A and B are shown apart, each in its own frame.
Chain A
């Protein structure tokens, strides 16, 4: 076996025991690693009947085969579990340094099951692991926890930590890696908290062999590295971060504004864009382990009421979630919101989106100050939001408890027509690219395996003309507000998204490569023996498995849709009047994917990808049918 260790660490938190499970090489070839491997392990080792926060539920961290290669963008790793926010397959990807360190400890993945009687943390060293008491850390924020553990064990230990939000059961709790990188989406931190697991530390010294070290070195130095470093995409985010092009995107109508009710707000990029950040609060940039792109800003605010010391800064999604979505033009305030969420351990995207939903509800009179401790959230009122964030994490007070549910559950709680302000799919609030600008995004969000997501697929990049894959039939220029080719594009790039999230390869560098180059990378690194067809088949297998998990947990084709607010046209900007034609795109997509008109896979489809056991569960069916 190459690039992978073949070993999975299984931890029973109830019993306080650990064991090592060995996997066959074929499992990696079929599920790659990362998110694909996590879904496979959940299916094989987990209790499908368990609720997201039941002790029997499993939480899995998995690395990818490229983790030790030093290639740009390959130190990411995945977390997978049934999401407490959505109830379906929850997956999150994190940059940083923990993935390679886990591999250095001799494990490709960690499977966590059960619930410790008292708070604990997991310490992983080469081939061994132990559970240790964490009662002193319980209640600490993620930065304090990380500092505490590094002081105790040394800086060479890499740390994953949850904050108070996850301890308190906020369903969009995040997990922080060394204070700078986050599993933000879908509440993976909350699952960790439900197990009374405060943190994981890891340090190892192993290094799996590569299948063809010389071939890989030649490929990397001669082809992949120059291609990535010359990529205009990588160079742009390297220079100005992920919010680099906010001005352009705002003009196009791609940046959600005022909870997706406006098509443009041209004042915003002057203060909120990556260019503005580089002129104001940005003091430097950081990258993930081994990555030369270094797209992550470091910021400091020297004066004024948002003064803060140097700390990891907000990225595009957070800038939109706490900036344009709330009509807040202050980048400094966004930086404070970002820092608070990171320390408290909350997903900035769900948190900001839920607050934006609440602002709409206040404006419509559905939420009234007199019913919520006199608090009123108003567009642009960022100071009230900053005061509210710690209370959301603590679930303290009526309004905070409501917002701590996430927008979909909160809307179900208050009713009164508040559903019309929702911006999610399957309970996961949409990322900050507007499907009314690029219709394919709408389809991609609706059929993403974890709910509205733009990194489960590459549809947004395809639609922007940022990528082309002639070997996969995707070399056309797409028209933004059209259904043409969108089903094909979403289908193929969903497979590519599954491949990237399973290889744990960041999209910025990975999309600089051609399909044959990706195949060659897998083969020289891990010896998977792929050709284009078998690599893409692995992506499709993973997508189907993750979607089926959602269906087993109650999702249906009816859930392949977008929140009502996104399906409402704006009256201004370049997207005025545009609403994606979801019906046409979905019909074409189901047909291309081998799905029935009700969105469920046919038995033939599952058989084709070797998912017979899943087919059995689906047919038994009771859940989700």
Chain B
């Protein structure tokens, strides 16, 4: 029984990690074409991401979009999650569901909606359009993490501080904000990672004016290979692992994933 179990585990693990191993070995290839097993060893394709103007500008675009969209998403999510949790305002709960909806639907639906909206308002191709679109698409993530964080706060604590004479503002600043902050940061991180990797919404809002990294990669795989793509895949995976690793170290990852009820 244990032999079967271990063989099965090894197979699934190989299926999950195998492609990543192949990509990494291609990315350290020293030749100009893709080959596996790789010929030679070099970091030239990693240097290329930063040295080549086109790849570097795509990287910069993606990082700026991801950072601004995540910041905006947390700013929009915080008051909604707070009002829904603290006062149980029905309207806030409606906003909460509306904010989560775009993330659940197939992304092409929202991509098309944004394309229609921004061509109608004349904002098609503006840099700010993709930032707004990513904010709305990924809003669900901070909404969910912040709500989880708020639910972990003991309401007796708030009662007690009110009894001791603290007003709403003081309670928010001294109890709620410090306790919800790690969850807000986690929401920011989830948003950042997913925005960095998002393709179709970026394509439909700014695809012909600004190139983000996923758009540039897609164009590159259609019109010929370059090992730079493999090195970007490795770079992205490392960034993802570092960010989620930090959440695991400083936050409560199993709780965020819903494993513990506490």
- Are chains A and B native binding partners rather than an unrelated pairing? no
| B residues whose Cβ falls under 8 Å from a Cβ of A | none
